[in-house]
Chain A
Amino acid sequence: MGRVRFIGILAALVGLSVVSAAAHHSFSAEYDSNKPLKLTGKVIEMRWSNPHAWIYINVSGKDGKVVKWAWETGGANALYRRGWRKEDLVAGTVVVVDGYQARNGSTTANATSITFQDGRRLFAGSSNPNAPK
């Protein structure tokens, strides 16, 4: 683990850095508090975009059917300051993502955190109040 990444993760974990974690508008309008989700899947693509970044994962169901899920996170800056790095999120990486599903019931969700196979957990820079600021 590189020094820069280690510092980033440490900062995210202990909440040292006061980062721009928030959305540009209320996520409450889009996502449903009654639909919490936790899914394990393989990264298809990490899109470092604005105003919010997106991570797309393939999730295999019990029936063997693979479903593509789009997870919205905070902006690219918020993720970077929380320790997210491009090299950790190459296609095929297995991750656990948790958050809340969209109100419209589509396979879209707001991510609150991502956990890697080695146990590292990074907050997703969303405006979720349970994530450290």
Chain B
Amino acid sequence: MSAPASFDLPIPPPEKGAPAPPTIKRLSDGKPDLAGFYMPDGGGGNYGLGKHEQDFLTPGGRGIIVDPPDGTLPMQPWAKAEVKSRQLPERGYDDPTAHCFVAGVPRSTYVPAPLQILQPPGYLVILHERMSWRSIPLDGRPHLPDEMRLWQGDSVGQWDGDTLVVETTNFNGKTWLNEVGEIVSHAQRVIERFTPINGDRINYQATVSDPLVYTRPWTVAFALNRQKEELLEVACHEDNQDLQHLKDVRDEARAKARTNSTR
């Protein structure tokens, strides 16, 4: 696994009078002990990875793309057109998360919901509050056969000093990167770096390569901040009335299009 360059995040100055953050805890083998609850400081990536203003019910975002340096996704022209199409109200029904499917990688990390990291021997496990998980083996095993395609992909990890480097492949290409429909395909490959900078904060970055969609790899970076609050339950299928609304919006648009085409 070849790791991409590391992009340092600015470290916020300590609040006046606040105690110094705790030091990184260590496991018996000397590796950082990342276990605990975290809230991602995802910067509105779930509503657009680049910097953007709020738009009606879509919140704004500070932009979390650190590469390319201009902070925009290097999308091929067809992908730009597809993203625009996904933002039509009648495409709301196509959003996989509206159907309660898992968010994929790296979106699972920047949806605005807490996560828990567990570190049993040989694994790093991430439990996401929206009731999905990633179990990342650290034993050097190869990826699954190419024909196996998964929503969350197949992740394997290894330590590079104090940084856990995770490579994920074998995606099914069905996930959206966020609510505004930014794209990845089944050719997506993600390399994530989890770097604890003190006991309360992990600098996270994800580099996405996807030659079917992008002209070059790109990287997002943000912090995971430790919190005391634990995870709650999100039983997404319980009372999902949105799906019918979104279908109504889609059906109405289709009926209108049919009427127009037969005129």
Cα–Cα, bound, A133→B236 (Å): 21
**Given the complex, which residues of B lie within 8 Å of A72, measured CB to CB?**
241-242
A25 touching B57, Cβ below 8 Å: no
Q: Is B78 located at the chain interface by the 8 A CB criterion?
A: no
| Contact present for A51 and B95 (CB under 8 Å) | no
> What CA separation (Å) do A80 and B129 show in the bound complex?
14
User: Which residues of B in the span 136-181 have a Cβ within 8 Å of any Cβ on A?
Assistant: 179-180
Task: Please tell me if the beta carbons of A77 and B58 are within 8 angstroms of each other in the complex.
Answer: no
In the complex, the answer to whether B92 meets A30 with C-beta atoms within 8 Å is yes
Find A28's partner among B56, B113, B235 (CB 8 Å cutoff): B56
Chain B contacts for A127, CB-based, 8 A: 47, 57-59, 179
Q: Which of B236, B245, B246 contacts A108 (CB 8 A)?
A: B245
A123 CB, min distance to chain B CBs, angstroms? 13
Residues on the A chain within 8 Å of B180, using CB? 26
How many angstroms from the CA of A76 to the CA of B180 in the assembled complex? 23
Is the C-beta of B70 less than 8 angstroms from some C-beta in chain A? no
The A89-108 residues at the B interface (CB cut-off 8 A) are: 100, 102-104, 108
By a CB distance below 8 angstroms, the chain B residues around A33 are: 56-57
Indicate with 1 or 0, residue by residue over B224-263, a CB within 8 angstroms of chain A CB atoms: 0000010011111111111001101100100000000000
The interface size bin for chain A is 35 or more
Q: How far apart sit A31 and B236, CA to CA, in the bound complex (Å)?
A: 20
A20-B114, A80-B232 known; A28+B89 contact, CB < 8 A: yes
Are the CB atoms of B236 and A26 closer together than 8 Å?
no
- Considering only CB atoms, which chain B residue lies closest to A29 in the complex? B92
Answer yes or no: A44 CB below 8 A from chain B CBs: no
B59 touches A22 (CB 8 A): yes
CB neighbours (8 Å) of B98 from chain A are 24-25
B55 on interface, CB distance cutoff 8 Å:
yes
In the complex, the answer to whether B238 meets A28 with C-beta atoms within 8 Å is no
Cross-chain contact of A104 among B100, B179, B242, B248 (Cβ < 8 A): B248
Q: A58 in the interface, Cβ–Cβ < 8 Å? A: no
Please list the residues of chain B having a beta carbon within 8 angstroms of any beta carbon in chain A.
39, 41, 46-47, 54-60, 87, 89-93, 95, 97-98, 100, 111-114, 129-130, 179-180, 229, 232-242, 245-246, 248-249, 252
Known: A24-B100, A49-B239, A72-B242. 9 other contacts (CB 8 A): A23-B179, A26-B92, A30-B249, A51-B234, A51-B238, A52-B239, A76-B232, A127-B47, A130-B54
Interface residues, chain A, with chain B CB atoms under 8 Å away: 17-31, 33, 47, 49-52, 54, 72, 75-77, 80-81, 100, 102-104, 108, 110, 126-130, 133
**Which 7 A-B pairs rank lowest in CB-CB distance, beginning with the nearest?**
A29-B92, A49-B239, A129-B54, A25-B98, A20-B113, A27-B57, A129-B59
